[in-house]
Chains A and B, each alone.
Chain A
Amino acid sequence: MKEKILKKDQVKQLHEDLSRYYSFYAPTKVKGNIVFKKITNPEDIELEYLNSKIPPKEILFPRMETLFSYKIDEKNIEIEPRTDLEEKILIFGVRPCDAYSFSLLETFFNFGQFKDDLFMKKKENTVVIGLACNTPRATCFCTSLDYNGHPHRKDDVDIFLTDLGENYLVNPISETGKAIIDKLAWLSEANNDDLQKAEELSKKAESLISTKLDLQHTAEILDPSFNHPLWKEVSENCLGCGTCTFLCPTCTCFDVVEDVDHYNNRGKRVRIWDTCQFCLYTLETSGHNPRNTKIERCRNRVLHKFNYYPKNYDLIGCVGCGRCIHLCPVNNDLREIIKKINAIKNENKKEEVVVA
């Protein structure tokens, strides 16, 4: 049988074995927030969690990433490219929705003529060990998404773990995953009871997801709704902060800035997270800003995920993790926005495009 069993106290050993070959990232608690960090002490790994506050995209697409650094010595400028991209990365304990977000990120960073070497190189060197989600939040809606989202979806990971209570059921998915499992000879075999239990948990988890959204026609409805009064309504109480986008596992926008260290005559060019929710994001040199008010900015976030993504990549740009819903400071609920969008379906059929 290819499935194995990992006892909970064996996670330590797993960490020891794998961190020899990989930089081992896993969820850990930092000041009350679950975040993915490089783990040196396996005691720090926190697997009993709902979902991380900051999505694991942070490992492949960090808040701040150096593109290159340089030194200035009198008149000479010496450029130092990145050398750490060959690092093998292992991300342990990723929820299925976040695991799928890696494929969405890849779609963006690997699209068209200009590919993002930094991201792609890291992605190639990354192994993802997923962890089934037995405790979805009330705000989760992965099952409504087009990728067959499911709290126990296994497709996007190399190895899939299911928490059976005492043990984890280890399910190798990809070839890489199988190779890793083969090396871990100390794992015990799983029996039919375990598989059955995992199956039950999967069904139970699915039933726990209470939010069902109809996203089938959302993209079409959004097409003629660019100037719909809806946008004014949904952006009314938006503060214009970047919480929803910074903590979104699929948001990819970044800004390139110069980080200069005057102390030591050196600097680096870095990319930092940016968001379409900021006024400065679209401000042009001329002073013109095509998205001048939060109405346009709120619209852009929804359109990007539910209209532009389907048009460009034939995918919805959302994984249904619900972070933007429960972290929004003013509770501007994405689910409500979607419902409102769906409600204008019939309106549009009247052929009258409403102009705000």
Chain B
Amino acid sequence: MNKAVVESKQDEEWQPKIIAFLCNWCSYAGADLAGVSRIQYPPTIRVVRVPCSGRINPFFIIKSLIDGWDGVVVSGCHPGDCHYISGNLVARRRFAIVKELLDFIGIEPDRVHFMWASAAEGELFAVMIRKISELVKKLGPNKKFEKKW
């Protein structure tokens, strides 16, 4: 996840870089649907496909912030739809804690987002990404974990 790899051509306007962890069964397919349906959303996200939202260790989220991503999105199946029955429910508790603690130490709450998106919700996925991009853009670059050299 070297930043150089994802460094896009900078236009006159700053664009955030957001890492998205999408579960294989719902959200990834949802993103795919958005793509094949040609629904427009900003090119700010880079997708990491994971088997289930329950696979997402909070380390991934914190490590992404340390490595300089401006925002993090985690998306999984709606409660009840998990391919593994309860993976997303376990994840939900975990994310609640992560979100509160990040907020507590002073990371802006709008940097890290959790959502549900099913395989049929291409439109919703695009809407959410548009919204998240806007929110993160408003915050500006993520510099908190930058090392003092």
Contact = CB atoms under 8 A, between A and B. Distances in A.
Q: Do chains A and B touch in the complex (CB under 8 A)?
A: yes
Interface of A: 72, 74, 259, 261-266
Nearest to A261: B147
Contact of B4 (A259, A261, A265): A265
Contacts of B1: 262
Contacts of B67: 262
A264 to B, nearest CB: 8
A266 B68 CA distance: 13
B9 interface: no
Contacts of A72: 4
A262 B4 CA distance: 9
The 3 closest A-B pairs by CB, nearest first: A262-B67, A263-B68, A261-B147
A263 B4 contact: no
Interface string B1-38: 11110000000000000000000000000000000000
A266 B143 CA distance: 15
B59 interface: no
B1 to A, nearest CB: 8
A156 to B, nearest CB: 34
5 contacts: A259-B147, A262-B67, A263-B68, A264-B149, A265-B4
A264 B4 CA distance: 9
Query: Which of B1, B66, B143 has most chain A Cβ within 10 Å?
Result: B66
B3 A265 contact: yes
A262 B2 contact: yes
Contacts of A74: 4
A264 B7 CA distance: 11
A261 B2 contact: no
A72 B66 CA distance: 18
Contacts, number: 22
A72 B2 CA distance: 11
Chain A contact residues, majority secondary structure? loop
B32 to A, nearest CB: 29
Nearest to A74: B4
Contacts of B2: 262, 265
Given A259-B147, A261-B149, A263-B143, 5 more contacts: A72-B4, A74-B4, A261-B147, A263-B68, A265-B3
Query: Which of A74, A259, A263 has most chain B Cβ within 10 Å?
Result: A263
Interface in B114-149: 143, 146-147, 149
Query: Which of B3, B146, B149 has most chain A Cβ within 10 Å?
Result: B149
Contacts of B143: 263
Nearest to B63: A262
A13 to B, nearest CB: 33
Nearest to A72: B4
A305 B95 CA distance: 48
A97 to B, nearest CB: 33
A262 B68 CA distance: 7
Contacts of B147: 259, 261, 263
A22 B3 CA distance: 40
Contacts of A263: 3, 68, 143, 146-147
A116 to B, nearest CB: 24
A265 B68 CA distance: 11
A261 B1 CA distance: 12
A262 B142 CA distance: 12
Nearest to B145: A263
A72 B4 CA distance: 10
B8 to A, nearest CB: 15
A259 B4 CA distance: 17
Interface string B54-83: 000000000000111000000000000000
Nearest to B69: A262
A261 B147 CA distance: 7
A266 B147 CA distance: 11
A259 B145 CA distance: 13
A264 B148 CA distance: 11
A228 B67 CA distance: 49
B147 to A, nearest CB: 5
Nearest to A268: B149
A144 B147 CA distance: 45
Contacts of A262: 1-3, 66-68
A299 B4 CA distance: 48
Contacts of B146: 261, 263
A72 B146 CA distance: 17
